[in-house]
Amino acid sequence: MPPFGTYRGEDEYLKPSLEGAWLLKDGTFLAGTLEKPPQDEAVWRSYYDAAQYILNLYTTGNLGLEKIAYRLNEEGWAYRDRTGQPERFTVTTCGG
């Protein structure tokens, strides 16, 4: 299975995915795509953008994996687990 935020193209290279998660008013996530908000005021976060954000935060050198995971959760980011469902981040899912 390719890393969250990506899929394998016909050329076998990883490509950015259009998948992501909607953060709902009640704090839960719903998998989907940007085109169809499930409710008013739901916040869209793509899995590809989440992966890129993790790498950007990590490369600053100022945050460890625990602080990155905390920040991602505070800001409403999620990743796609092996079953395709959005999940909150942990130290392990941020690369630990």
Rg of the chain, C-alpha, whole Å = 13
The model's pTM is 0.86
What pLDDT, in 10s, does the model give residues 17-67? 999 999 999 999 999 999 989 999 999 999 999 999 999 999 987 888 899
Distances 20 to 17, 62, 94 between C-alpha atoms, Å: 8, 27, 16
Place of tokens 């460890």: 64
The token pair at 6 is 């990506």
Q: CA 23 to CA 42: how far, in whole Å?
A: 6
pLDDT at residue 8 tops 70 = yes
The one-letter code for the residue type at 71 is: R
DSSP one-letter code for 70? H
